[in-house]
Amino acid sequence: MRVVSIIVFIVAVAMASCKSYKQKSEELPDTPGRGTITISADETFKPIVDELTKVYESNNYGTKINVQYKPEADCVKDLWNDSIRMVISTLTLTDAEKRGITDSLKVSVDQLPIARDAIAVIVNPASRDSMFDMSDIRNILAGTYSRPLVPVFDGVKATSTVRYIIDSVMKGASLTPRAVAAHTSDSVIDYVASTPNAIGFIGVSWIGNPDDDQQLSFLKKVKIAHLKSNDKEGKYIFPVQANLYGRLYPMTRDLTYILKESYRGLGTGFAEFLRNEIGQLIFKRAYLMPGRRYFIMRPVQLTEDAI
C-alpha cells in the first residue's frame, strides 16, 4: 500500500510539473514554434536571409520573423535596441561588448559564425579588365589605377562591404572621391551594367548562385571578375564555394548571428535552425560556404567562364 502511495505521489508531481511547464510556455510571448519577432540584417545578405526565414516559417506555421534590412552601422545600433531580437551581419562582438549588452538589456548574448561569404567584383561586359590582383584592387579604390575605373558600392559608408574594403583592403586609407554610392546591392549591378568604366563590389550572395533566376538575369548584365588566388602565383579565381572554403579567394568574410534573448524563444529556435542541417544546406545551395557543417570537397573540372 505504501509503495502504491509513493507511485501515485510521483505521478502526481510529474503531472504537475508538466502542467507547470506548459503553462509557463503559454505565458511566454513566443517560443521556437510560435510567435512573432523582429530581427535586423545587413542588406548585403537579403537574398539568403529571405530564403532562410521563408523556409523556417513554412516549417513552423505559427511563426513570423520580420526582417529589417539595413546598413551594417544601423545593425550595430540595433544591438542595444531591446525590440530587435537578433542581428545577422559580419559583426563580431568582443567579450566586453557582449557584457555591455547583457548588463544593459538583461538578456543573454550568443554569437556564432554560420557561413562564409565573399565580396564579388563585377564589371561591365564591355570592360577590358576582368582579372585583378589585390594591388590592382587597392589602386582602383584609391583612384591610382592605370585606367579610370570608378568603384561602386552599396553606399560609401555604414555598410559591411564598405567597412571590409576600408579596414581589410585599404587598411584605413581613403577611397577615391570618384567612388559612387548606389542605394542597394541590386542598384550596384544596374549601375555597372550601364556604365562601361564602373567596377562594383557586392556580396556574392547577390550574384553567385547560378540556380537563381534573378541572379542569372544579373549575370546577363554584368560579369564577375577573377581575383588572384592566395595559394598559387598566376592563378585567378572566382568567389565560388571551393575557393571560400580555404580562403583562397582574397576577399572572404564570415556571416555571423548575434542573438539577444532572455528565454528560449523564437530567436533561439531560428538560431538553431541557422546552424543545423537545413539552414546550413540553404547556405550551401545559395553558394555560400556553410560554417557549421562539413561537406565533402571532390575534385571536378569547372569551367569558370560559365559563371
Please indicate, yes or no, whether residues 121 and 246 belong to a single structural domain of this protein: yes
Domain membership of residue 18 (yes or no) is no
Domain membership of residue 60 (yes or no) is yes
In 10 A of CB 11, how many CB atoms?
A: 10
Q: Exposed, middle or buried by CB within 10 Å (0-12, 13-18, 19+), for 133? A: middle
Question: Distance from first CA to last CA of the chain, Å, rounded?
Answer: 77
- The answer, yes or no, to whether residue 10 has pLDDT greater than 60, is no
* Residue whose C-alpha cell reads 505565458 in the numeric block: 27
Please indicate, yes or no, whether residues 159 and 267 belong to a single structural domain of this protein: no
CA nearest neighbour of 253 among 70, 79, 96, 72: 72
Q: Exposed, middle or buried by CB within 10 Å (0-12, 13-18, 19+), for 245? A: middle
Q: What is the mean pLDDT of residues 118-141?
A: 95
- The answer, yes or no, to whether residue 20 has pLDDT greater than 60, is no
Q: What are the tens digits of pLDDT across the range 223-241?
A: 999 999 998 777 999 999 8
CATH assignment of the domain containing 108: 3.40.190.10
pLDDT higher at 180 or 210: 180
Average pLDDT of the chain to the nearest whole number = 87
| Least confidently predicted of 139-148, 205-214, 228-237, 273-282 | 205-214
| Dihedral, 21, 55, 291, 75 alpha carbons, nearest 10 | -80
| Dihedral, 280, 281, 285, 291 alpha carbons, nearest 10 | 30
Domain membership of residue 54 (yes or no) is yes
In 10 A of CB 226, how many CB atoms?
A: 20
pTM above 0.75, yes or no: yes
Please indicate, yes or no, whether residues 197 and 103 belong to a single structural domain of this protein: no
Domain boundary among 252, 274, 302: 252
- Range among 3-7, 41-45, 56-60, 234-238 rated most confident: 56-60
Residue 88 structural domain:
26-116+253-290
pLDDT value, residue 184: 86
Q: Sorting pLDDT into bands at 50, 70 and 90, what band is 52?
A: very high
Domain membership of residue 105 (yes or no) is yes
Please indicate, yes or no, whether residues 128 and 240 belong to a single structural domain of this protein: yes
Instruction: Provide the pairing of β-strand 198-203 with 150-153.
Output: parallel
Measured CA to CA, the distance from residue 51 to residue 67 in angstroms comes to 12
The cell for 289 is: 560556404
Measured CA to CA, the distance from residue 82 to residue 173 in angstroms comes to 35
pLDDT value, residue 297: 52
| Least confidently predicted of 1-15, 67-81, 222-236 | 1-15
- The answer, yes or no, to whether residue 7 has pLDDT greater than 60, is no
In 10 A of CB 307, how many CB atoms?
A: 16
Alpha-helical (H) ranges within 71-127 are: 72-78, 95-105
Q: What is the mean pLDDT of residues 116-136?
A: 95
Number of domains in the chain: 2
Q: Sorting pLDDT into bands at 50, 70 and 90, what band is 11?
A: very low
Measured CA to CA, the distance from residue 285 to residue 55 in angstroms comes to 13
The answer to whether residues 295 and 287 touch, using CB atoms and an 8 Å cutoff, is no
Domain membership of residue 232 (yes or no) is yes
% of the chain beyond a pLDDT of 70: 86
Please indicate, yes or no, whether residues 241 and 283 belong to a single structural domain of this protein: no
Domain membership of residue 216 (yes or no) is yes
Domain membership of residue 260 (yes or no) is yes
pLDDT value, residue 101: 95
- Range among 10-14, 182-186, 223-227 rated most confident: 223-227
pLDDT value, residue 219: 80
The cell for 176 is: 577615391
Please indicate, yes or no, whether residues 32 and 127 belong to a single structural domain of this protein: no
Q: Sorting pLDDT into bands at 50, 70 and 90, what band is 21?
A: very low
% of the chain beyond a pLDDT of 90: 68
pLDDT value, residue 211: 75
pLDDT higher at 216 or 174: 174
- The answer, yes or no, to whether residue 48 has pLDDT greater than 70, is yes
The cell for 169 is: 583592403
pLDDT value, residue 306: 46
Domain membership of residue 197 (yes or no) is yes
